[in-house]
């Protein structure tokens, strides 16, 4: 990779992107609107920094993983206002690039990169989370078209998405992995209903999406019919990589720096127990960051992280839980009730921590992946791989 | 400097690993245990003369290799994986103290011999519970009285560097283990790969070494933390590999036991702890060479993470092997005891957290 790219990236970011705020700076009063995000993504595209590794014929830059890593490193100091495109580009985008048809690549990838169209990912269902292959949303052929019925859940960005990559069952007589297909669904089509999903923190970062006789054209299929699981595996791999390389938040209220300041403010940094807890948090937090750095360094010399991305995700979730415990030690009863923003932020993060161990693949699934694909242990024994889906118990169905 | 190994470091790791496999497999440790010997003199000779391990952190001007902390950490990781019994750590700590002090006479005399493996030197330091030593007389004609235990290779060392107090001021004293020297009593070490002794001084002649004793002792603590964390990283990986491999071949209830989540998830957690600990060790090793100001906290953080993680992994190694893992014949208990010992030697987990809190300015 030429240093030119990195220099060019740095100077463009300096001129066009807001810097990350430090913990003690005030929050910016004006929230970033969707229009702002679209405008920023278009600027990024025009400057030649969108789709760095994607081929030129689909609007990409045709560069290598080295330029992609250089870009990630340079952007760490900036707060890019294009989060609405994160999911689309890293998951459905990369999947269409790998397994989509030529017509799909030409039609959908350039507008995605330019910021004209926003995408979401529709996998999880109320009855199919960790075991997403047991999904029940169905797509049935009707002439040249497909008819979609069912419910998806935990969909980020569905409320402002133009398209979604959705998994649906196309043959319930086959074993569960062999009767699924992946489609492109128009989120503005009649029969699509998006409802915000309120979570334990009281916020609504996700949606539920309902499909009621939604018609999809014949060419909406990504990859082959009943081969949707293969496409899903591709997308899940991209999801783990995207999550694993997101980088930490420098202003985390549950971070060592924040909790140390809180402890100092409460006059507790002289207590041996508190000092030890904070020191251990420092060590764990730092090691989690160092491991991500190590994975990046390995990728730079061509050793891809593969399933070790799951180690990074598991470590991040565990760190959140540990930090919550430290915060409880540091704050004591001051955490039970509060009227300060500082403590409210800590409490919200503790309440949110279990979500990180569920979203993007639960910690239990990550441990399966680490055990099977990093350590090479045998797969779980199970009846679900060979039984026709319509004879399988799924979700919370009672046995008849 | 990167966290990943340079090609030179990788080559060093490979050659030490081959050396351990060829010359010091775990069966050798069994022989030493049966014979009651602290280490294999031939293996030690090759470690020093052939591989230059005792001189890795000693500059070339003193006959060492001058390779630095990162290379040392890489070598110790491989030695730790094989539970190689040797006086290396004792020599490293004695050398570190001499390098930090300003006693030209002692450095000129001792460092080349340490680097060449010609003598065994040790730093006779332990926690307050391990006793204390007081010095009296003049710096040149001092005498030391008191006890210290446990001291690394205290029974085998011909030279001891002993921290002692004179009028409330800590100094470092050079003591010869000759006829007028201290009494060294070899203790029962929980870890079969370490030789530890109680050193009793009773009006023992000594010479005070010139230089800042407190700073030198702090540097020795940092090196001890890097060394024990590095050894623990290697040994923990050995436990992880041993147990994963067993989980692939041992069958119960019609499945390899690794198929069961009760086993699989425990191993996945072990893998996670190892990856994080290893990254922290690499960071500490790198800081030792490139960012000395950051080295104390980085080395302590690495030890804080790895020593307990390794000890837990060693317990899990016994547990996941089941009954066979608790037999004398199986190697699991060798790691378990090494893990226990690595966790508490030269400052236990609580002491290390206190040290880290001090270094971070909490």
The CATH number that applies at residue A26 is 1.10.540.10
Locate A123 and state its tokens: 């996998």
- Same domain assignment for residues A98 and A153: no
Closest Cα of chain B to A333: distance in Å? 21
Considering the domain boundaries, does residue A233 fall inside one?
Answer: no
Considering the domain boundaries, does residue A162 fall inside one?
Answer: yes
Active site residue A239: yes
Q: Report yes or no: B160 and B121 within 8 Å, Cβ to Cβ.
A: yes
Q: What is the CA radius of gyration of chain A?
A: 22
Which long-range CB contacts under 8 A does A21-29 form with residues at least 24 apart? A21/A79, A21/A251, A22/A250, A22/A251, A23/A250, A23/A251, A23/A257, A23/A258
The CATH number that applies at residue A146 is 2.40.110.10
Let me know how many helices (H) and strands (E) chain A has, helices first: 12, 8
Q: Supply the range of the domain harboring residue A163.
A: 119-226
Considering the domain boundaries, does residue A206 fall inside one?
Answer: yes
Indicate the SS3 state at residue A370: helix
For residue A192, list its beta bridge partners: A211
- Same domain assignment for residues A220 and A258: no
Asked if the Cβ–Cβ distance from A315 to B276 is below 8 Å, we say: yes
| Sequence-ordered alpha helix ranges (H) in chain B | 7-23, 26-35, 41-45, 69-81, 88-100, 104-115, 213-249, 261-290, 295-321, 332-344, 349-360
- Same domain assignment for residues A136 and A92: no
d(CA A258, CA B106): 47
- Same domain assignment for residues A124 and A99: no
- B 195-214 → A contacts, CB under 8 A: none
Q: What are the structural domains, with CATH classification, of chain B?
A: 7-115 (1.10.540.10), 121-211 (2.40.110.10), 215-360 (1.20.140.10)
Reported ipTM: the value is 0.95
Closest Cα of chain A to B297: distance in Å? 9
Using a CB–CB cutoff of 8 Å, tell me whether A287 touches chain B: yes
Percentage above 90 pLDDT, chain A: 74
- Same domain assignment for residues A63 and A146: no
Asked if the Cβ–Cβ distance from B353 to A370 is below 8 Å, we say: no
In degrees rounded to 5, what are phi and psi of residue B203?
65, 30
Considering the domain boundaries, does residue A42 fall inside one?
Answer: yes
The tens place of each residue's pLDDT in chain B, 362 residues long, gives: 689 999 999 999 999 999 999 999 999 999 999 999 999 999 999 999 999 999 999 999 999 999 999 999 999 999 999 999 999 999 999 999 999 999 999 999 999 999 999 999 999 998 878 889 999 998 788 999 999 999 999 999 999 999 999 999 999 999 999 888 999 999 999 999 999 999 999 999 999 999 999 999 999 999 999 999 999 999 999 999 999 999 999 999 999 999 999 999 999 999 999 999 999 999 999 999 999 999 999 999 999 999 999 999 999 999 999 999 999 999 999 999 999 999 999 999 999 999 999 999 99
- Same domain assignment for residues A281 and A197: no
Q: Which of A225, A239, A298, A364 is catalytic?
A: A239
Which residue, A99, A114, A129, sits at the end of a domain? Answer: A114
Beta strand spans in chain A (E): 119-122, 138-142, 145-155, 163-169, 180-186, 192-197, 206-216, 221-222
Considering the domain boundaries, does residue A155 fall inside one?
Answer: yes
- Same domain assignment for residues A29 and A126: no
The structural domain count of chain A equals 3
d(CA A268, CA A266): 5
Query: What letter does residue A128 receive in the DSSP assignment?
Result: B
- Same domain assignment for residues A106 and A134: no
d(CA B267, CA A377): 9
Which residue, A93, A114, A135, sits at the end of a domain? Answer: A114
For residue A125, list its beta bridge partners: A128
- Same domain assignment for residues A44 and A103: yes
- Same domain assignment for residues A145 and A107: no
Q: Report yes or no: B317 and B336 within 8 Å, Cβ to Cβ.
A: yes
Asked if the Cβ–Cβ distance from B244 to A376 is below 8 Å, we say: yes
Q: Report yes or no: B128 and B56 within 8 Å, Cβ to Cβ.
A: no
Q: Report yes or no: A320 and A353 within 8 Å, Cβ to Cβ.
A: yes
Considering the domain boundaries, does residue A395 fall inside one?
Answer: no
Which residue, A195, A226, A257, sits at the end of a domain? Answer: A226
Q: What is the dihedral of CA A155, A159, A163, A166, to 10 degrees?
A: 20
- Same domain assignment for residues A126 and A28: no
CA distances for A21 relative to A10, A87, A247, A352, angstroms: 17, 23, 15, 22
B-chain CB neighbours of A311 within 8 Å are 271-272, 275
Q: Report yes or no: B3 and A290 within 8 Å, Cβ to Cβ.
A: yes
d(CA B81, CA B231): 7
Indicate the SS3 state at residue B95: helix
The closest of B292, B39, B357 to B189, measured between CA atoms, is B39
- Same domain assignment for residues A220 and A259: no
């Amino acid at each position: 990779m030429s240093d030119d790219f990195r220099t060019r990236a740095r100077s463009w970011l300096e001129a066009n992107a807001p810097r990350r705020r430090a913990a003690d700076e005030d929050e910016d009063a004006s929230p970033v609107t969707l229009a702002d995000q679209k405008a920023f993504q278009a600027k990024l595209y025009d400057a030649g920094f969108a789709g760095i590794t994607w081929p030129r014929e689909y609007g990409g830059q045709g560069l290598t993983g080295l330029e992609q890593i250089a870009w990630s490193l340079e952007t760490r100091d900036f707060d890019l206002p294009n989060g609405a495109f994160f999911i689309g580009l890293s998951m459905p985008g990369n999947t269409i690039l790998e397994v989509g048809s030529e017509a799909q690549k030409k039609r959908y990838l350039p507008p995605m990169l330019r910021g004209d169209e926003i995408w979401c990912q529709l996998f999880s269902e109320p009855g199919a989370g960790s075991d997403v292959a047991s999904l029940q949303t169905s797509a049935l052929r009707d002439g040249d078209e497909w008819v979609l019925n069912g419910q998806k859940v935990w969909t980020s960005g569905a409320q402002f998405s133009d398209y979604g990559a959705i998994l649906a069952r196309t043959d319930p007589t086959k074993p569960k992995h062999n009767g699924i297909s992946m489609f492109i669904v128009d989120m503005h089509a009649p029969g699509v209903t998006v409802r915000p999903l309120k979570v334990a923190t009281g916020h609504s970062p996700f949606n539920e999406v309902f499909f009621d006789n939604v018609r999809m054209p014949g060419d909406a299929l990504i990859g082959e019919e009943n081969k949707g699981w293969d496409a899903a595996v591709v997308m899940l791999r991209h999801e783990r990589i995207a999550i694993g390389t997101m980088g930490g938040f420098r202003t985390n209220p549950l971070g060592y720096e924040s909790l140390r300041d809180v402890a100092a403010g409460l006059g507790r940094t002289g207590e041996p127990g508190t000092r030890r807890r904070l020191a251990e948090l420092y060590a764990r937090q730092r090691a989690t960051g160092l491991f991500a750095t190590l994975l990046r360094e390995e990728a730079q010399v061509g050793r891809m992280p593969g399933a070790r991305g799951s180690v990074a995700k598991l470590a991040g979730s565990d760190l959140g839980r540990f930090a919550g415990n430290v915060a409880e030690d540091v704050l004591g009863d001051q955490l039970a009730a509060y009227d300060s923003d500082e403590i409210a932020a800590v409490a919200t993060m503790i309440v949110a921590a279990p979500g990180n161990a569920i979203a993007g693949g639960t910690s239990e699934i990550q441990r399966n992946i680490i055990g099977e694909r990093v350590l090479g242990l045998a797969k779980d024994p199970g009846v679900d791989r060979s039984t026709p889906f319509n004879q399988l118990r799924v979700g919370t169905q009672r046995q008849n | 400097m990167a966290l990943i190994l340079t090609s030179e470091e990788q080559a060093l790791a490979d050659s030490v690993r081959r050396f351990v496999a060829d010359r010091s497999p775990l069966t050798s440790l069994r022989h030493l245990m049966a014979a009651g010997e602290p280490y294999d003199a031939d293996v030690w000779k090759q470690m020093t003369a052939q591989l230059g391990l005792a001189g890795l952190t000693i500059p070339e001007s003193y006959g060492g290799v001058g390779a630095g902390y990162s290379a040392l950490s890489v070598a110790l990781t491989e030695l730790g994986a094989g539970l190689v019994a040797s006086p290396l750590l004792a020599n490293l700590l004695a050398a570190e103290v001499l390098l930090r002090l300003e006693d030209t006479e002692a450095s000129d005399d001792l460092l080349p011999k340490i680097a060449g493996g010609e003598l065994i030197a040790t730093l006779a330091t332990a926690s307050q519970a391990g006793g204390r030593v007081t010095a009296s007389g003049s710096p040149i004609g001092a005498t030391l009285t008191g006890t210290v235990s446990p001291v690394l290779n205290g029974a085998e060392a011909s030279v001891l560097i002993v921290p002692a107090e004179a009028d409330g001021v800590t100094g470092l004293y050079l003591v010869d283990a000759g006829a007028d020297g201290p009494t060294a009593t070899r203790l029962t070490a929980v870890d079969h790969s370490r030789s530890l002794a109680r050193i009793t001084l009773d009006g023992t002649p000594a010479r005070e070494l010139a230089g800042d004793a407190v700073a030198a002792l702090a540097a020795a603590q940092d090196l001890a933390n890097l060394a024990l964390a590095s050894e623990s990283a290697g040994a923990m990986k050995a436990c992880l590999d041993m147990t994963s491999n067993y989980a692939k071949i041992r069958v119960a209830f019609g499945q390899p036991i690794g198929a069961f989540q009760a086993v699989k998830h425990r191993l996945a957690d072990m893998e996670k702890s190892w990856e994080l600990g290893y990254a922290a060790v690499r960071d500490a090793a790198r800081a030792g060479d490139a960012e000395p100001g950051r080295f104390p906290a980085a080395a302590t953080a690495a030890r804080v993470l790895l020593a307990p993680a390794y000890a837990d992994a060693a317990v899990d190694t016994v547990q996941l092997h089941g009954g066979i893992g608790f037999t004398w014949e199986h190697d699991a208990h060798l790691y378990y005891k090494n893990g226990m010992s690595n966790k508490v030697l030269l400052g236990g987990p609580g002491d290390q957290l206190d040290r880290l809190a001090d270094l971070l300015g909490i």
